[in-house]
Amino acid sequence: MQATPLSDAPRAAGRALTRGDYKTLTLAALGGALEFYDFIIFVFFAPVIGQLFFPPSIPDWLRQLQTFGIFAAGYLARPLGGIVMAHFGDLLGRKRMFTLSVLLMSVPTLLMGLLPTYASIGLMAPVLLLAFRVMQGAAVGGEVPGAWVFVSEHVPGRHIGYACGTLTAGLTAGILLGSLIATGINKTFAPAEVADFAWRLPFLLGGIFGLCSVYLRRWLHETPVFAELQKRKSLAAEIPLKAVLRDHGRAVIISMLLTWMLSAAIVVVILMTPTLLQKQFHIAPATVLVANCAATLCLTIGCVLAGALAGRIGAGKTIFVGGVALAVSYWLMFQQIALDASALLPWYALTGFFVGVIGAIPFVMVKSFPPAVRFSGISFSYNVAYAVFGGLTPIVVSLMMKSSPMAPAIYVGALCAVGALTTLFIKKTP
């Protein structure tokens, strides 16, 4: 049985955003930023964590492998956590799962900051660290699609693009916050102090902020769309994911392909590029970090703009033009830096701005699935695709670099082309 095709009619599609709408967007974006911060802060302190949570006798390469293995476990847990939380989000309500995801993230983050090291409790230290990381992955798997659904079902129809773009900007701001706090910790404390106690501070801070977000989300209300589904008894009559896979295969494929483009933009341009620039062009780490912060800041601005444009001129046009601009700017950035490394900051900032095209992608996903199975449809498509493509991207790019120093730009350009072609098949759900 196909999910009841209830539209987003409970909202007045043409009205302006109200104070309540802005409050919802602010709280959702703030919680998303803090949750993403909690999820990625681990990677900034991976070397210290590797030294403290694994036997000192093992080789450095094995310690590093095990540390990043625990980091990767968070990504592997995303699909399962996201699918489970989306299932109940479609049946019990968006708000409950939206609040649960923050709680499920903040508690293990706080506990990581309090966790005894290998010197104190032996093998239980990495085991507990792994367990907490899996909990974080499950939480972020429910937070991202849940947040997109939550804000899109609160605002008027013509502002859905802006809402999704603003929420995505909040998520990317969490990456910037993690980078800034990690930089501050390493500049304030000596390496010995960081290894002794200071590495714990970002985790404790993230856990406390996360618990504050749980409290603040108490003031949010269930979405009008879900409330109407309950009122009309139009909730999914079967397992929501079953209906998604049977009746909305086209939407799933389109969402997965666009998520592939999104993961390439974030993983390669924002997360991998700083390391690649240092190795390939021998640029000082401090210089690269400043440029990366500028790029991430411009990314948050680009997300809001792309989301707003998607709502006004259409997501297809926005993603097509933005994808081409991203591919061209990233290619030119590598070309220009090879000639003059001082050009890094403006080119990286411009490229980061065009990465903001990803702010239009959740708009497509929201419009692709009917309300009764929307949470499950987005969560399955996004989390599975991100886990697969996001996990394979660093490996693929690394292998490609053996043949060409322009491999990162070639990969991003190829995925931007995939995203642009995918827009030709977008079909909105009435």
Each residue's pLDDT tens digit, 121-142: 999 999 999 999 899 888 888 8
Structure-block tokens of residue 128: 């507990």
Structure-block tokens of residue 400: 């490609």
Say yes or no to pLDDT of 5 above 50.
Answer: no
**Is 420:321 a contact under the CB 8 Å cutoff?**
no
Query: Which residue did the predictor score with more confidence, 21 or 194?
Result: 194
- Give the pLDDT confidence of 282-317 residue by residue, as tens digits: 888 778 888 999 999 999 999 999 999 999 999 999
Fold of 236-430: Growth Hormone; Chain: A; (1.20.1250)
Structure-block tokens of residue 340: 């003059």
pLDDT at residue 9, rounded to an integer: 45
pLDDT at residue 8, rounded to an integer: 52
Q: Among 42-51, 58-67, 75-84, 332-341, which stretch is predicted with the lowest mean pLDDT?
A: 58-67
Q: What are the DSSP calls for 317-362, one per residue?
A: HHHHHHHHHHHHHHHHHHHHHHH-GGGHHHHHHHHHHHHGGGGGHH
Average pLDDT over residues 106-111: 93
Q: What is the pTM of this model?
A: 0.85
Query: Which residue did the predictor score with more confidence, 279 or 135?
Result: 135
User: Could you check whether 19-235 and 236-430 share the same CATH topology?
Assistant: yes
pLDDT at residue 4, rounded to an integer: 43
Cα–Cα distance between 48 and 206 in angstroms, integer? 18
Burial of 17 (0-12, 13-18, 19+ CB in 10 A): middle
Phi-psi region of 416 (alpha: psi -120 to 50; beta: other; left: phi over 0): alpha
- Classify domain 19-235 at the CATH superfamily level: MFS general substrate transporter like domains (1.20.1250.20)
- Break the chain into its structural domains and give their ranges: 19-235, 236-430
**Is 248:378 a contact under the CB 8 Å cutoff?**
no
Q: What are the DSSP calls for 73-95, one per residue?
A: HHHHHHHHHHHHHHHHHHHT-HH
DSSP, collapsed to helix, strand or coil, labels residue 279 as: helix
Say yes or no to pLDDT of 269 above 70.
Answer: yes
Average pLDDT over residues 186-205: 91
- Site of tokens 């989301």: 307
pLDDT at residue 236, rounded to an integer: 67
Average pLDDT over residues 331-343: 91
Confidence band (pLDDT; 50, 70, 90) for 11?
low
